[in-house]
Amino acid sequence: GTVPRTITRYRDICAEEMASPQDWSVQDVLDWLDKALSSGSFNGHVETYKHFFASHFIDGASLLELTPDMIRKMGIHAVGHALGIARLISELKSGGGSGITVRRSSLIRTELPEGLILCMGNPLLDISAEVSEAFLQKYEVKPNDAILCEDKHKPVYVELEKNFAVSYIAGGSTQNTARIISWMLQKKNVVRYMGGVGKDDYAKRLKESAVSEGVDVHYMEIDEIPTGTCAVLITGSNRSLIANLSAANHYKVDHLLLPENQKIMEQARFYYMAGFFLTVSPPSIQLVAKHAAAHNKVFSMNLSAPFISQFFDGPLLDALPYVDYLFGNESEAEAFADRQAWENLSIGEIALKISRMPKVNTQRDRIVIITQGSSDTIVAGRGEIRQYPIVLVPKEKIVDTNGAGDAFAGGFLSQILLGRPVEDAVHAGHYCASMVIQRSGCTHPPKPEFK
């Protein structure tokens, strides 16, 4: 059983922990089929049926919901076989299963179809350059500031391009995470992304940058509003940000409702959105979230910033019942707790309380992941709290911590897509964050070395 509010150190968790069917990965289900169908009338059909299950990404939670009719629609047309598999699943649900047990598998899902995950957010073209302190003072920007663009800041983007050696990066929180997922998986077009851009050169650069990193973008192009940009002003080890959302702030659910984009949404099995998107298109979030819950797919979000919980708590609380994985950091968790009038709770207790909030799709538990900078990462769910030590990076090697949270979410989700357990996902998140903070911006080496 699980012990509420008990801290369990990762190093004390047995790597061969027995997983319940609800928690099985796709590979665990295939292992179970190997054993469950090993005799009788299924002989000669096991590999074919395993292929059907794998191609439909049937994990443990999905397995337990299968009916004979659903099994036949997967391609197992023999009525007797469909009924036989349904009977075995029923035994598994009742705690039987003919004595068959499956241990948590470490085998990676090898088939990653295009569009497996859909990410939606606010796309911004990061325009990055090294500038002087005088340049910051000219635009009334402080070192390490992160501000929204006002009229006095608007000339900064043109001046950067005219007078400095700039680099262009496909940015915005969700798009950063999408790029990291793609980098970790090293396969193009597994990740699809939607958001609002203008019809201008910045949009072309944004698309070129994202596509070059394997992300399949489907932007909503908006007339007469420029593409969102973020001036990244580097002064030594400091990095100041001036964000101009522009077209990103005008994304509409009408774009998602287009037949071609509905197909993209329906093809995906996983979804991710940063909390910043709550300020732009709550109807889009609700559409995707409800689809995910109705079809037992995985829906993930990020708290993103304290102001989201403080000023957009309505849309956030509307979305939360659909969230399977929720990311955040300690200040964001505290802001959420303050807004809910939860008092005298530790970060772990806040995460656990969020994990227990009402949920629409009860076939999946909510897992809440809270990073804490250089302190252990908290993971809460299924009635318990766990802590995972981070990958320590020497202080002198840290260049920029701004993209660490986006990178962590990308690394984490890359392993969830592969069917790996949460423990592996946390380690991948730590790895990605440790890589990104040693570079300027949310960038990465050519290839990951995560094992």
Cβ(426)–Cβ(377) below 8 Å: yes
Q: Which one, of 311, 306, 302, 242, lies nearest residue 277 by Cα?
A: 302
pTM, two decimals, is 0.76
pLDDT tens for the 451 residues of the chain, in order:
333 333 333 333 333 344 678 878 778 888 888 888 876 678 778 888 887 887 677 888 889 889 998 898 888 888 889 899 999 998 888 775 544 555 444 344 557 899 999 999 999 998 989 999 999 999 999 887 778 889 999 999 999 999 999 988 888 999 999 999 999 999 999 999 999 999 999 999 999 999 999 999 999 999 999 999 999 898 877 778 898 999 999 999 999 999 999 999 999 999 999 999 999 999 999 999 999 999 999 999 999 989 999 999 999 999 999 999 999 999 999 999 999 999 999 999 999 999 999 999 988 899 999 999 889 999 999 889 999 999 889 888 888 777 899 999 999 999 999 988 898 999 999 999 999 988 877 888 889 988 7
Spatial neighbors of 193 by CB under 8 A, at least 6 apart, are: 118, 119, 120, 121, 123, 174, 175, 178, 210, 215, 216, 217, 218
**Structure tokens of 55?**
């191609």
Query: And the tokens for 406?
Result: 């986006």
For residues 320 and 326, the answer to whether their CB atoms sit within 8 Å is yes
CA pseudo-torsion sign 287, 293, 297, 302: positive
Q: b/e for 96-130, b at 16 or more Cβ within 10 A?
A: ebeebebebbeeebeebeebbbbbbbbbbbbbbbe
Q: What is the DSSP string of 113-172?
A: -TTSEEEE---EEEEEEE--HHHHHHTT--TT-EEE--GGGTTHHHHHHHHS--EEEEES
Q: Are strands 238-244 and 146-148 parallel, antiparallel or unpaired?
A: parallel
Dig out the tokens for 102 from the structure.
Answer: 């499956």
**What is the torsion angle, in degrees rounded to the nearest 10, for the CA atoms of residue 36, residue 418, residue 113 and residue 121?**
140
**116, 268 Cβ separation under 8 angstroms:** yes
Contact residues for 66 (Cβ-Cβ < 8 A; gap 6+):
58, 85, 86, 89
Tell me if residue 194 falls in helix, strand or coil: strand
What distance lies between CA 311 and its chain's CA centroid? Answer: 23
d(CA 271, CA 176): 15
List the helix and strand counts (H, then E) for the chain: 18, 17
- The pLDDT assigned to 110 comes to 57
275, 177 Cβ separation under 8 angstroms: no
Classify residue 249 by its DSSP letter.
G
Provide the annotated active-site residues: 406
> What pLDDT is stored for residue 39 in this prediction?
64
